[in-house]
Amino acid sequence: MNKKLVSFHEIPFKFQQLRNLTVDKNINNKLTTENKKYHDLEWNEALPFEFLPGPKPLPIIGNAWRFFPFIGNYYGKNILELHKQLHKEYGNIVILKGIMGRPPFVITFSPEDCEKIFRNEGTRPYRNGIGSLAYYQKVVRKNIYKNNASLAVLQGDEWHKMRAQVNSALMQPRVVARYVNRIENVARDFILKIDFLLKNSKNTDELPDDFLNEIYRWSLETAGEISLDTRLGCLELNVSQNSEVQQIIDAVNDMFDLIFELNILPSMWRQISTPKYKKFVRTMDYLTSICRKYADRAQTKMLGSEHNNDTVPSVLEVLLKVDKVVAIIMAVDILLAGVDTTGKTAAAVMYFLSINQEKQDKLREELIELMPDPNTPLTRQILDKMTYLRGCIKEAQRIASITPGQNRVLPKDITLSGYQIPKNTEVFTGNLLMCNLDENYPKSNQYIPERWLRNSAPELTAKTPHPFVFLPFGHGPRACIGRRFAFCELEVLIATVRCQYIRLPEVELYTEWAILINNG
């Protein structure tokens, strides 16, 4: 019988290992105890939750009346305007009670609070999802979704499992780099569409008033290329009203309104099947069927001789290998989440460049230097050198981010701005307002892409603000899963347009914030 012998000289080493483990364990236990003592002391010294400042609710109607026409002091304000008023009246932290039947929720405008929220969210962060979408996927069409659902709907272990399954398809830089040329082809077709619109315009120097819809079409076409491995045809010069392309465009546009109306505005859909919810179900059914059709087509191609044996598979191919239902869910999510957010951000970048001619000229110089021939195919290596372009995009995101902040439900008791915030409280981080405060970004109302460059002036640099102020794609485990693709789409579009169509507009920027399907 073989026995493992331990030589004499090994014994002190093994004893030292055991002693180190014991010491490490004791240190960890001591640190845990010290942290708990500090937390308890901080909690005991903080003001009670009931003392949080905020507008006082009235009996029965709560604070809902403040959003009513004529009598409400918050009526007609967008989220940034509302946050500015709340910050002015109540400071860095405010509680809103009695808002359309929702439980009380806390809004913080403190970077330190934001950091504390995200540092304590754990590995499975919880945030309130989109009720209408959750009910559709988990109840109405349970037979189709088979206990799966969107990342925006799932929580806890279910969310963690789904996120782990799809991370490799959307988060790897090499996968995103593979799509640069495909995204560029869409951008070049978008330029052809712009030329067509200009030629057919009464004023050849101006694009139509509804040009934002054309940007949405670019965004939707790109989303289809990424999530469905196909060109949908959104940028075709003459699209029939009865075509599949137009129906997809209409369905995606309808979903923006329906999600807002069912989940933010007062609605009885939870009690009865309202006309709006019936339309929501029909629209989701249609989008699901479209994504299923293209998933079936891709699956057949993978099994047949046409399958492309690239070293890096496409997003859809990776997701189909995980699970066909997961592939369909993510395709629907990308169509819904990517179109509105990426489209509006692209419009914001173009707007700020149009009203800041000197910034536009500087960007054009960078683009010409790196791509003297405008027909040069873009690569990830070329994009990585476009530092000023990235600064232009980030600065537009800072001033006019489509996501005004992040929502979380606290997994434990914590203190924020000197107040006790108990476990299970819903909190919202007002990052958009924080990004528009001079205390965080000097001259915050000015469009200064240079603040994002390494050699920027110290008083303007974007490296000095608190790291939890600028979070356009969220933070932590539930950060936007499509953020690499989204930023790449913006880089490619602006680089391809090369500023040649950007002119001073006759309108001011109006940014609309609504409930978003944040793919995290």
DSSP per position, 171-185: S-HHHHHHTHHHHHH
Residue 48 has pLDDT above 50, yes or no: yes
Mean pLDDT taken over the chain: 86
> CA-CA distances (angstroms) from residue 378 to 72, 223, 356, 453?
51, 19, 26, 22
Close Cβ partners of 502 (under 8 Å, ≥ 6 residues apart)? 350, 353, 354, 360
Residue 444 has pLDDT above 50, yes or no: yes
Residue 201 has pLDDT above 90, yes or no: no
Strands 105-108 and 426-429: parallel
Stated pTM of the model = 0.86
Q: 99 pairs with which residues across the strands?
A: 102
Is 480 among the annotated ligand-binding positions?
yes
Q: Is 419 in a helix, a strand, or coil?
A: strand
- The pLDDT confidence band at residue 30, using thresholds 50, 70 and 90, is low
Dihedral in degrees, nearest 10, Cα atoms 476, 482, 483, 485: 150
Count the alpha carbons within 13 Å of 500 in the hemisphere toward its beta carbon. 14
pLDDT tens-place string over residues 205-243: 677 788 888 999 999 999 999 999 999 999 998 878 888
- The pLDDT confidence band at residue 2, using thresholds 50, 70 and 90, is very low
Does the domain at 38-128+404-469 match CATH 3.30.43.20? Answer given as: yes
Report the alpha-carbon distance of residue 58 to residue 502 in Å, rounded: 50
Dig out the tokens for 289 from the structure. Answer: 């069927």
Report the alpha-carbon distance of residue 83 to residue 310 in Å, rounded: 49
Write the DSSP symbol of residue 67: G
Domain residues of the chain, as ranges? 38-128+404-469, 141-400+472-497
pLDDT higher for 520 or 416?
A: 416
Q: What is the pLDDT of residue 204?
A: 64
Q: What is the pLDDT of residue 340?
A: 84
Report the alpha-carbon distance of residue 42 to residue 112 in Å, rounded: 15
Q: What is the pLDDT of residue 199?
A: 85
Strands 406-409 and 414-416: unpaired
In words, the CATH class of domain 141-400+472-497 is mainly alpha
